[in-house]
Structure 1
Amino acid sequence: MRVMKWSIIALAVAAGTSQLAVASSQDESKGFVEDSKLNVKLRNLYFSRDFRNRENNPLGKTKSYAREWGQGFIGTFESGFTQGTVGVGVDAIGLLGLKLDGGKGTSGTGLFPTGSDGRSQDDYSKGGGAVKFRISDTVLKVGDQFTALPVFATDDSRLLPEMAQGTLITSNEIKGLTLHAGHFTSLTGQEQTNRDSLHLTQADVVGGTYAFTDSLSTSLYYSKVEDYWRKYYANVNWALPISDDQGLVFDFNIYDTKSDGTTNYAAYDGDKLDNRAYSLSGAYNIGAHTFTLAYQKVSGDGDYGYGVDGGGTIFLANSIARSDFNAEDEKSWQARYDLNMATFGVPGLSFMTRYVKGTGANVASTDNGKEWERDIEAKYVLQEGPAKDLSFRIRQATYRSSDGVYYGSDSIDELRLIVEYPLSIL
């Protein structure tokens, strides 16, 4: 799952279309080497998950917690494009994870591959490459890549991210309009090295985002995942300035998902899938403070299903740190508060807390399942000096349910300590 995804598309469009270019991106190409970029992100992650109910947790009755610590290296190389009508370039991804602490009795965090003996590997690595072509402002990429489409999004919530294999076309020929079309044949899981670890056979996606103004955008996407389901997704994002230091942001997301009747979905739910999942959020910002309220509902048959099409493919407001609140018939409310300390003279320091309560979940044990989650987060990013952009983050989540709504787990306390340092080498 991925946190606070619901406005990412609108933000990306606003950033990419803030001004009308006279010449196309390919016309302005400086060359294969001249426009190359090499970045390495260092990620140090301590992950602790305490299952408070030993009798009812996915690790089994003899194991009540999972705790591991690792160091990740996320390297990406992006060449420029050759000059001419058709530009050619290459991208490469190199990922390495090292275990710093954790034994057989504490495995199961999802940071590392786990062997048949239940012990996590000491290290693992994976990588890949892609070739890309550009005509005007349209790019075709073939090979390994990260994706952030609402119907096909790779997850990056652990030590190393998921990686997709396939073809993606991205077009920005019209101001304010971004179009995507893709064909993907496999996904490598976050803690896996096998290219087919998520059992994706084929996924086809198409859609786009259009910014009517700097403050209003909309998105529409479609996907077909072979042997699983087809999805429609729509989004409307509207930012309403009130004054220089006040504003409102409204965000609406909806998925319509239907399984194709094959047996593969049984791995998720055991039933045919035909549902709608939507969320509506409103955020009020005044100075350093942001207050957010959100409502989410799933209706129809089955939970909102995702994962084989990417662990980040849930652009709903109440998909948060631990639970997605996406069970069949579930309704959920969220209250959130953000504080930006830059206003008080400490730029780079921020705090967040939120509470989500879900009711009416139709699960194996009941048709009125209830769950709640409280998250607290503090983050600091260095603003200057030799370690500029080095970030420190602490995230704590408390989850409770009397009905085993989330994968049969009633009570979870979770802690993540994350240190990240992005290095720009080229």
Structure 2
Amino acid sequence: MPLSRNRVLALAIAAATGSPLVMANQADSKGFIEDGHLTFLARNLFWDHNSSAHSGDPVNRSDKREWGQGFRLDYGSGYTQGTVGFGIDLSAYAAIKLDGGRGYSGTAGVLVPEGDGTRDEASSAGGAVKMRISSTELKYGNNLRPYNPVFAAADARLVPGTATGLWLTSSELEGLDLEAAHLTAAKDFNSTNSDDDFFAAYAGVSTDTVDFVGGNYAINDQLSVSLYGSEYKDIWRQYYANANYTWPLSDTQSLNFDFNIYRTDDEGRKLAGEIDVTAWSLAAAYTIGAHTFKLTHQQIDGDQPFDYLGLGPGTFHDSIYLANSSQLVDFNGPNEKSWGLFYNLDMAEFGVPGLTFHARYIRGTDVDGSKMDPNSPYAYYADGEDHWERDIDVKYVVQAGPAKDLSVRLRHATHRIGNDKSDVSADQIRLIIEYPYEFF
């Protein structure tokens, strides 16, 4: 049964208004101006994705190199007082080219494309009106940024991706957070156009409507569960479930288990062809003091890959909560199995608060595209593909002084694949410098 707009909103409203905690938050409103806030973020991003050294082609189209400066200004008003409160959210974005990549301009998705190159400067703005009853909020506008397992607009370039439509959130019951949306247009992180379509990232096909409904429930301090459903019109219906449990062993030690599962079926006109995929992952993490060690397993059961949100052709957003989704690849090929080893270090335990280190190694095997319909947009996988990825991530956040909250992050990833039918071997470096500031 399709997740129509009326059904999506009715489910969320019914869940939200069934709470006895009526007026809990709206009753505390101090006013439209009084509760307003204005924040600023400056982000400098250098992106170098080098696959030419491994492809034998010195100017391979997969070689991507761009450098830019982004600015974001967000204003969120408070709510008018009364049983029903009203307010607005406003955002302004700008992306400035510092280096187009010397022959690689327009290849990395960092800068806004224009003709055969990229714009020197690009800007956009968006807004939403909002209303609140108790702890239930409804927004309508073109700068919505939902972030959940079935629709997560990424913020991995100079400015974030956004969507246009209706977005309802509710936190009426303690520990229970619900949301639903009917979305009708998108703006990618390298676009100034807020009227774009939504994409199936790996299939490369698009739709103009996405609906989702779901939420998260914290059963107690150790255990939480999530359940979501979405419909990308004429492409797929996708369902997601998660269980996350933390077992405290002592004041400095714990075990965490995280299970994620998706079920995706084709829908409507089947623009991406036949889809019949179950994708799941299980992660077990042991934390002792500053150290966290994690072991992961991920499996794709289906003759198509696991696919998820894009907000433009050739871009990939964050609607994949599987454990082995990584910086360069997602280990999501048809019938693929993968395992991973992760290590995280928080240097605060050693007297350097704000400094963190992350490393991971993931290997994927048994990719089998031999049963794929040759007319499928996913028909670019070989039989028996295997590959691996290694990622290193170092970040430092200034803790005090005039530069408080300034962060510097260096990410390096290496990917190697046995053949290059569905992907290529590559190395990538990202250097991100961010400075957030809160005016009020």
TM beyond 0.5: yes
Structure 2 residue aligned with 1:237? 244
Q: CA deviation at 1:156?
A: 1.1
The answer for the alignment partner of 2:414 in structure 1 is 398
How many residues get paired? 397
1:425 to 2:402 alignment: no
Counterpart residue number, 1:409: 423
Q: Name the counterpart of 1:192.
A: 191
The alignment partner of 2:264 has SS state of strand
Where in structure 2 are the equivalents of 1:151-170 lying within 5 Å? 151-170=150-169
**Residues 147-184 of structure 1, C-alpha deviations (whole Å, 9 max, x = no match):** 11211110111111100111111111111111111100
> Following TM superposition, by how much is the alpha carbon of 1:329 offset from its aligned partner in structure 2, in angstroms?
0.5
User: How far is 1:264 from its partner?
Assistant: 2.6
Q: 1:42 to 1:21 in 2, by over 3 A?
A: farther
Output the amino acid matched with 1:130.
Answer: A
Partner of 1:387: 403
8 Å contact from structure 1 (residues 365, 403) kept in 2: no
Q: Any unmatched runs of 5+ in structure 2? A: 1-19, 199-206, 370-379
Which runs of at least 4 in structure 1 moved beyond 4 Å after TM superposition?
20-23, 53-57, 60-64
C-alpha distance in 2, partners of 1:255/1:66? 31
Aligned residue runs from structure 1 range 57-72, under 5 A: 63=61, 65-72=63-70
1:204 aligns with 2:198: no
Q: Are residues 21 and 40 of structure 1, via their aligned partners in 2, closer, same or farther at CA, if it must alter by over 3 Å?
A: farther
Give the one of 58, 76, 79 matched to 1:78: 76
> Does the 8 A contact of 2:342 with 2:358 survive in 1?
yes
Residue 116, structure 1, aligned to residue 132, structure 2: no
Q: Do residues 281 (structure 1) and 283 (structure 2) align?
A: yes
On the 8 A contact 1:56/1:410 being kept in 2, the answer is no
CA gap 1:227/1:235 in 2 versus in 1, 3 angstroms: same
For 1:47 and 1:97, locate their aligned partners in 2 and report how far apart those are by CA, in whole Å.
14
Aligned-partner SS, 2:436: strand
**Kept in 2: contact 1:169–1:182 (CA 8 A):** yes
The CA distance in 1 between the partners of 2:267 and 2:53, in whole Å, is: 37
Percent identical among aligned pairs is: 46
2:324 counterpart (304, 318, 322):
318
- Give the structure-2-normalised TM-score: 0.86
8 Å contact kept, 2:52–2:60: no
Structure-1 residue corresponding to 2:265: 258
Aligned mates of 1:56, 1:232 — CA distance in 2: 41
SS of 2:114's equivalent? Answer: coil
Greater mean deviation of Cα atoms: 229-238 or 23-32: 23-32
| Secondary structure of the corresponding residue to residue 158 of structure 1 | coil
Q: In the TM superposition, what is the alpha-carbon distance from 1:203 to its structure 2 partner?
A: 1.0
How much is the aligned-residue C-alpha RMSD, in angstroms? 2.0
**Higher RCO (CA < 8 A, seq sep 6+):** 1
Match of residue 303 from structure 1: 305
What is the aligned partner in structure 2 of residue 147 from structure 1? 146
Change in CA separation of 1:422 and 1:263 when aligned onto 2, cut-off 3 Å:
same
Q: Which secondary structure state, in structure 2, belongs to the residue aligned with residue 94 of structure 1?
A: strand
Which residue of 2 is the match for residue 222 of structure 1?
229
Equivalent residue letter for 1:410:
V
- Is the partner of 1:403 in helix, strand or coil? coil
Letter in 1 for 2:426: I
**Is the Cα–Cα contact under 8 Å of residues 54 and 62 in structure 1 kept in the other structure?**
no
Superposed CA deviations along residues 248-306 of structure 1, whole A, max 9, x for unmatched, are 111111110011263532xxxxx411101111101111001000111111111311111
Which shifted more, 83-92 or 154-163? 154-163
Q: TM-score, normalised by structure 1?
A: 0.89
- Structure 1 residue 245: deviation in Å? 0.5
Contact 2:151 2:309 in 1 (8 A): no
Q: Take 1:56 and 1:257, find their aligned partners in 2: how far apart are those partners?
A: 37
Tell me the CA shift for residue 362 of structure 1: 2.3
Match for residue 357 of structure 1?
A: 363
Q: Residue 266 of structure 2 aligns to which amino acid in structure 1?
A: S
Letter in 2 for 1:129: G
What letter corresponds to residue 417 of structure 1 in structure 2?
L
Q: SS state of the match for residue 113, structure 2?
A: coil
C-alpha distance in 2 between matches for 1:359 and 1:196: 39
The 3 A distance-change label for structure 1 pair 215 and 30 is same
Among candidates 330, 338, 347, match of residue 341 of structure 1: 347
- Counterpart CA distance in 1 for 2:35 and 2:128 is 16
Alpha-carbon distance between aligned partners in 1 of 2:45 and 2:62, rounded to the nearest angstrom: 20
C-alpha deviation, 1:114, in angstroms: 2.1
